[in-house]
Structure 1
Amino acid sequence: MSELKLTDRTWGKFSIGDLFQIENCKCSKVSALKEGNVPYIGATNRNNGVLSFVENKSSFITKGNCIVFICDGEGSIGYSIYKKEDFIGTTTIKVGRNEYLNKYIGQFIVTCSNMMRGKYNFGYKRNEANLKREIIMLPENTDGDPDWQFMEDFIKQKEEKQIAELKNYYADKALELMISTGNLRNTEWREFSFSQVFAEIQRGKRLTKSNQQDGTTPYVSSTATNNGVDNFIDNSTNVRIFENCLTLANSGSVGSTFFHYYTFVASDHVTALRLEKPNKYIYLFLSGIIKRLEEKYSFNREINDKRIQREKILLPVNEEGLPDWQFMENFMKQIEQDKITAVLNYYKKPFNNNNLRGG
């Protein structure tokens, strides 16, 4: 398929009310909900709208595959977010859905919608009536209707291009590493269970919000942001304390994996993974491998203690068929030196105006 360009399509004006059926979210008092595995969406455009994870209250659930319209909140009003998964939302946000929506079209729509958010900077309210009248520009087909297929294909193309660029970058860095270390050989990979890799596998311990004492010790939970740190606390009894290890989110943002060189308290929503010989670079290598579990699990399926024991990961091996720890360490040292983090951050950030300028 030839490269799709935005300039290849005519664009038309469409109102939100004509594009979507609008629904209200249902939670007016999040403090009444216990901590859990369901994302709670509030009036913020940060972290894709997620403020916390709460218990599953079926009467409050909003089904996923929808556009979230933020209707309140200084600095966030006017933004829109696509949500794939089911969630509980505050009553200050509304959602829109239609029969064409999927994650690709959703990304396209929210980017176009966010271009129009400037009108809400001067006290203009985003109530339901104003939201339905809101106009966005979209590519249209020959019948003058939104060209849903083009939107989907365009975002897929952008995503595939970024993935290809990232894969090529990794391949180049790996080759440079092998050459620089004189280790130009075919690397063999084999499966290992978690129990074969880690000397200690232990889940954290439940600590409710009401029992958390303000302090300076990181409290690591199932959030996918801020290296998993959800709070800073002073609790030292009836908690599980770890340091210099990985954490794996077994619920909430399932599969999120982070390295912690510092002392921290782990919630029961994460499992601590410790090597027999802790090493920062090996931990960073392993975290990238383990994060692939995100594709296997979801908010409706957690990584319980039995599953984590059965899970297997692919690792490079040495001539004895054992994990090649030295290769992993050298690889990550080279990656760190070349600041690949900047490339990863570029790939992870949402599609912005530049992504929708074709070319």
Structure 2
Amino acid sequence: MSMNLNTGNWKEFRLGNLFSEMYKAEAHVKADLECFNMFSHNTIKFISRTEMNNGCDCYVLNNDLTGIEEGNAISIGDTTATCFYQSERFICGDHMVICRAGWLNKYTALFVLSILKQEKYKYSYGRAYKMDLISNTVIKLPATADGSPDWDFMERYIQSLNYKPLTTQNNHPQHLLNIDSWQEFFVSDIFEIYNGKFITKEEVDENPGDFRAVQSGEENNGILGKIDKQYCIDNGYIYTDQPCLTVARSGSAGYVSYQNFGCVVGDSAKILLLKDSSWRTPYIYLFIKTLLMANKFKYTYGRKVTEDKYLIEIINLPVKLTREGDIMIDTQKKYSAKGFVPDFEFMENYIKSLPYGDRI
């Protein structure tokens, strides 16, 4: 049974006073290492500033590596403010800060990290989260009667959270991908695009509600927080009530998220709505999101996603075929100048057939 949180009794604590050790990890250059996508014999985790996969960029061959960090530590990227708990031995890339303490375990770490990650927005747009800033960061935590952090409560609270293991009836995909017959489409052939405007974290905090506000970050599916919808309407903000995709214009430019309940977008994001409203389903959006994400690399090094540029991005999609197996051509050319017709039905059925596709 989950425990209740009464934040009224929480106290402020400086991170530098909570951790007994805080130091820069030895930096390894990924290009100099033998890398693997998954764990194999004699490999070790390579932790970098990535927001994905708990900070694990890849696994590398442990060929008498130096600077190996023991597990039970928190890793923080000092230029990205990405922070994760590392339970196993690891090495680091550049700009990584390691934090250790006697109270640290996976439960207390998860509790503290859930609060610390709320500070991340302060260090976007090139503001580095250097070690002195980390040390001086103040967060609120449950406290004991004598004013010390209540580590026992935090541990028990995380242990009390309820969850059920996710199961699936889909053990074998029923639809195979034959990309040889896929055809090219411009993003503008498939999507309507709407540019966001304004919306700050302060606005979200000062006008709380149930409507998702999306900006340019990758964390939390791009969601900045939940805001009052009427406030957004009154201020002329760009929103949709329908399921949609969003794409980050700057920051994590090119990052695409799926928003199943609609959202309002700030000036660092855009809404993508399928032109054919009858196919605005989670399955279609998730299928196309994967393809759009393959173009994200084009927007690194400060390149922004502009509307004109994004509308002429090309993605390959499955297309409808005739009974004879030839590519179907639409003389009205609704979806492309060449008359190709996206096979939305195949896309939907493919996602449904994947393991856990029955849980969407």
TM-score of the pair, normalised by structure 2:
0.50
| Greater share of residues in helix | 1
